[in-house]
Amino acid sequence: MNSDYQIDQPAGPIGANISGIDLNNINSTAVDFIRKALSEHVVLFFRDQALDAASLLELASKFGSPVPYPFVKGLSGFPEVVEVIKRPEDTLNFGGVWHSDTAYLETPAMGALLYGVDIPKRGGDTLFTNMYNVFDSLSTGMQSFLGSQMAINDADNEAIRATRPGSTKKGLLATHPVVRTHPVTKRPLLYINKAHTTRFAGMSESESAPILNFLFERIMQPEFSCRFQWQRGSLAFWDNRACQHYPLNDYQGELRKMLRVSLAGDKPR
Ligand code: SIN
């Protein structure tokens, strides 16, 4: 292992800062190092990088297959790279609810890379939470009940629709296990999210709501999370199978612009 690479873990449950790697110029040793660190820490943060759409896409392709983001048009010439932008006059922020990405697809994204281009003077942090830890915090009785359940995930669920008017799609749903086994670490984790999960399969929304709401509250508990403060040139790379994220909307009147690439994932099992 290259001793120039450093990992520093700022919060207990999730996230690691990686230094000593120039993301414009990574070799196979660095790729292996990042893959291993991602499995362990679930989200990785890098500072002072100099990326554009082409180099971000090239970087992402070292870790998987970049895919376009549903409902969001990619950049010209780079359909897999989307701008996540909130202008000074905007009031909503993209994905401003706790979520894992694209759970309404049969094969939701495996991960995503998000790069800071224009960052507000203050605010605009992103929170990440560890879904292994959330699952582990539940009683064995609840774990076993949830382990036998499937849930419906809907692209047009009210909670996510409220964060992006006009850019969701009716009728795009996927049924996934509520407890998923991570394909790399083989650990169980909770796989429902407030943005997309509407009910347990075989139950109505009102029957499902008490338990789903209990779980959504649990997911928001700060003990499972870390908070990343962006700077221009920062990059976050998260394992979308094992975490959820929540971008804060606390910088009204300022511009925040990010570039984002999603990586193709597999069918949750
Ligand atoms: C998202 O991908 O949900 C947005 C994350 C962010 O803007 O921090």
pLDDT confidence of residue 170: 82
pLDDT at 4: 86
Q: Does residue 1 surpass a pLDDT of 60?
A: no
Q: For residue 2, what pLDDT band results from cuts at 50, 70 and 90?
A: low
Q: Whose CA is closest to atom 1 on ligand 1?
A: 95
The whole-number average pLDDT for the span 144-163 is 92
Answer yes or no: is pLDDT of 162 > 80: no
55-72: pLDDT as tens digits? 999 999 999 999 999 989
Which pLDDT belongs to residue 61? 98
For residue 41, the model assigns a pLDDT of 98
* Section 19-44 average pLDDT: 97
Residues with CB under 6 A from ligand 1: 84, 94-95, 114, 126, 245, 247, 258, 260
Centre a 10 Å sphere on the Cβ of residue 37 and count the other Cβ atoms it contains: 18
Q: What is the CA(148)–ligand 1 centre distance, in A?
A: 31
Task: Please provide residue 117's backbone torsions phi and psi, each rounded to the nearest 5 degrees.
Answer: -105, -55
Task: Give the rounded percent of residues in the chain with a pLDDT score beyond 90.
Answer: 91
Mutate to test the pocket of ligand 1, among 93, 94, 257 (most ligand atoms within 8 A of CB): 94
- Residue 149 has phi, psi (to 5 degrees) of -105, 150
- Please report which confidence band the pLDDT of residue 166 belongs to, taking 50, 70 and 90 as the band edges: low
pLDDT, mean of residues 21-37: 97
* pLDDT average, residue stretch 170-190: 96
pTM of the predicted model, to two decimals? 0.96
C-alpha separations of 141 from 75, 135, 146 in Å: 47, 12, 9
Q: pLDDT at position 177, please?
A: 98
- How far, in Å, CA of 41 to CA of 14, rounded? 5
Q: What is the share, in percent, of the chain residues with pLDDT greater than 70?
A: 97
CA-CA distance, 115 to 237, in Å (whole number)? Answer: 9
The more confident residue out of 159 and 41 is 41
CA 3 to ligand 1 centroid distance, Å: 32
The stretch 212-230 carries a mean pLDDT of: 98
